[in-house]
């Protein structure tokens, strides 16, 4: 067994410990030896693998971020020339082109090992709903692997690939990760193109990443997250959500939201693991904030109890119902009788829930929940196939409906030797932020990589600090609370952080128009100036700065506490026609003196 985390693998290539061809063929043999786990539907032959390996012949390892990195593809995602089955043999077709995301990974040098097993038509969280065999947990084969992306998770955990693509409509990219000791990242909806994906619910589906650590998940996400103009649901990434901002060193202080009431389905061991996770986050500088989770749970119910099941019916409308497994047919046929009025009624409910949920997500830096309440044996799932599947989705079903981003982090094992995980989530385009927080948490745990003997390695975080979605702005004049230009802050969603003073290193001048002051730094004759600090969404900062007329501008202002923030400064030649009002200590006091 080889250490397949991407950093270690590339170093092994550079040392000539092994070649990509040697490794890939060894991994193929390993997958055959471990075929009882039912991870694969189609392993590529040596001849098929040659096509991808030959791409590396004239390439440099330093030029390709995923040079020779083996990966798996859930078999509802297209790989050109290889059948796509969605775990339904009668549905199978052979695509001529790769899925858009797959193509990005291939361009980066990654090598596909094959197509993995799944709950049929990606309908399920258990990994047992496939004619290609039940997925078996990588640690205890009596237990479910989680689904629908069962094979992708199991293949990664067993050390057959470095990472794998799954999908996630209701939790399929997170539940299998939790139960197989993996990072499972569900990106922002639309960040990964769905071109070449067999849809489950087209408006909700996300292609996801299973990885051994958050560094690898962040790297793969950055490679895959290219904008596809042919995908009508595609969304362009945001500057703050790029790989350069991945960082496992967290802010000194942060807040995380935790549901006021939690359901573990009677499993005291998973409850203890969750409580220890809270302690770990607090040890990293976090402050727990209790959250009323009821609107999230009500939103989750809409996915299968509401009209969204009609999307699953629509995605399979041309599939012979007799070709489906009975449990899949039962779920999809639940769409019968749903009306357009039902769909609109549910949309109204969802929008009301989202407003409440967004307010709570806005109140903290990240949200923390269990990924799933408990673990089930395969025998238990056979006895209660729908009920227990629903329990596994308790904390996952709402995520795409509410347009959130989520990352599973494994946090330990229960006495049955099965792993268990928690989920960190937040708004769309918080992928790198979530992977950074998840990485910091993951680093506190003494866990192996998947089900291998290799320990989790210390993160080599990138140099750029974690990007913030808000920026502090120091104001000293017409933008102060109650003054004529304060609306330029409030209309951009800025909120008052505090009233304070600058360091005693500034001079304040009244400009000739009598409407605005100008603040200049003076290290020798400066005084402390009364100021306010406002927190503004970064997305609106540019338009705010564009409104500022000369001679004023934005620079860095030092406060009395020694911190530096963006704030109003002025060109040096302003003093020629301006009045020095520094003795008043602030703009408000100066104006008061004129009355």
Beta bridge partners of 471: 536
Q: What is the dihedral of CA 195, 201, 203, 209, to 10 degrees?
A: -60
Out of 10, 136, 145, 148, which one is annotated catalytic? 148
CB neighbour burial string for 306-326, b if at least 16 within 10 angstroms, e if fewer:
bbbbbbbbebbeebeeeebbe
Cα–Cα distance, 377 to 373 (Å, whole number): 14
- Of these residues, 130, 145, 162, 172, which one is catalytic? 172
Sign for the pseudo-dihedral over CA of 100, 104, 107, 110: negative
Determine whether 74 is an active site residue. yes
Q: Which residue has the tokens 């799933």?
A: 372
* CA-to-CA dists, residue 165 to 72, 179, 308, 422, angstroms: 6, 16, 24, 20
- Residues 254 and 287: beta-carbon distance below 8 Å: yes
- Cα–Cα distance for residue pair 91/85, rounded to 1 Å: 6
- Residues 10, 74, 136, 189: which is the catalytic one? 74
The dihedral built from the CA positions of residue 9, 13, 15 and 18, taken in this order, carries a sign that is positive
Q: Which helix (H) or strand (E) holds 533?
A: strand 530-537
145 a catalytic residue? no
Angle at 189 between CA 418 and CA 336, to 5 degrees: 85
Q: Report the distance separating Cα 248 and Cα 119, nearest Å.
A: 34
Rounded distance, CA 153 to CA 159, Å? 10
Catalytic residues: 74, 148, 172
């Amino acid at each position: 067994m080889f250490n397949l985390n991407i950093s270690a693998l590339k170093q092994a290539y550079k040392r000539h410990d092994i070649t990509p061809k040697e490794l890939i063929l060894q991994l193929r043999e390993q997958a055959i030896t471990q075929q009882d786990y039912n991870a694969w539907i189609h392993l590529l032959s040596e001849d098929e693998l040659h096509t991808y390996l030959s791409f590396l012949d004239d390439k440099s390892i330093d030029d390709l971020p995923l040079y020779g990195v083996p990966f798996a593809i859930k078999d509802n995602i297209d790989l050109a020339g290889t059948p796509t089955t969605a775990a339904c043999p009668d549905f199978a077709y052979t695509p001529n082109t790769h899925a858009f995301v797959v193509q990005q990974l291939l361009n980066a040098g990654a090598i596909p090992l094959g197509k993995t097993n799944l709950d049929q038509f990606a309908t399920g969280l258990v990994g047992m709903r496939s004619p290609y065999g039940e997925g078996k947990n990588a640690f205890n084969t009596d237990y479910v692997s989680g689904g629908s992306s069962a094979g992708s998770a199991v293949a990664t955990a067993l050390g057959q690939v470095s990472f794998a693509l799954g999908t996630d409509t209701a939790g399929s990219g997170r539940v299998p990760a939790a139960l197989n000791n993996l990072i499972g990242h569900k990106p922002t909806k639309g960040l990964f193109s769905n071109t070449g994906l067999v849809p489950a619910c087209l408006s909700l589906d996300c292609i996801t990443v299973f990885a051994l650590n958050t560094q690898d998940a962040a790297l793969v996400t950055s490679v895959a997250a290219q904008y596809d103009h042919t995908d009508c649901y595609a969304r362009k990434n945001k500057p703050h959500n790029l790989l350069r901002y991945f960082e496992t060193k967290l802010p000194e202080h942060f807040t995380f939201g935790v549901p006021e009431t939690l359901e573990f389905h009677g499993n005291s061991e998973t409850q203890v693991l969750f409580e220890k996770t809270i302690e770990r986050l607090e040890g990293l500088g976090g402050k727990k904030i209790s959250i009323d989770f009821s609107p999230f749970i009500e939103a989750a119910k809409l996915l299968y109890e509401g009209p969204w099941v009609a999307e699953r019916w629509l995605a399979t409308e041309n599939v012979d119902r007799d070709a489906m497994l009975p449990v899949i047919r039962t779920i999809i046929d639940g769409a019968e009788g749903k009306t357009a009025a039902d769909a609109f009624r549910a949309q109204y409910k969802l929008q009301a829930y989202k407003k409440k949920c967004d307010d709570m997500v806005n109140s903290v830096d990240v949200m923390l929940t269990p990924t799933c309440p408990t673990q089930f044996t395969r025998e238990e799932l056979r006895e209660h196939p729908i009920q227990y599947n629903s329990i596994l989705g308790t904390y996952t079903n709402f995520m795409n409906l509410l347009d959130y981003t989520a990352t599973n982090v494994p946090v330990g094992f229960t006495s049955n030797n099965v792993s268990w995980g928690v989920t960190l989530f937040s708004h769309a385009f918080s992928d790198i932020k979530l992977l950074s927080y998840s990485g910091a948490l993951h680093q506190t745990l003494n866990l192996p990589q998947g089900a291998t003997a290799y320990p989790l390695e210390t993160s080599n975080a990138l140099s750029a600090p974690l990007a913030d979605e808000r920026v502090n702005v120091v104001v000293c004049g017409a933008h102060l609370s109650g003054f004529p230009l304060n609306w330029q802050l409030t209309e951009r969603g800025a909120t008052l952080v505090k009233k304070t003073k600058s360091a005693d290193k500034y001079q304040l001048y009244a400009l000739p128009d009598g409407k605005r002051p100008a603040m200049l730094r003076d290290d020798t004759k400066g005084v402390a100036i009364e100021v306010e600090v406002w927190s503004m969404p970064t997305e609106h900062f540019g338009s705010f700065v564009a409104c500022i007329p000369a001679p004023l501008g934005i620079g860095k202002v030092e406060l009395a506490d020694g911190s530096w923030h963006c704030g109003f400064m002025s060109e040096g030649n302003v003093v020629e026609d301006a009045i020095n009002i520094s003795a008043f200590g602030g703009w408000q006091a100066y104006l008061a003196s004129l009355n």
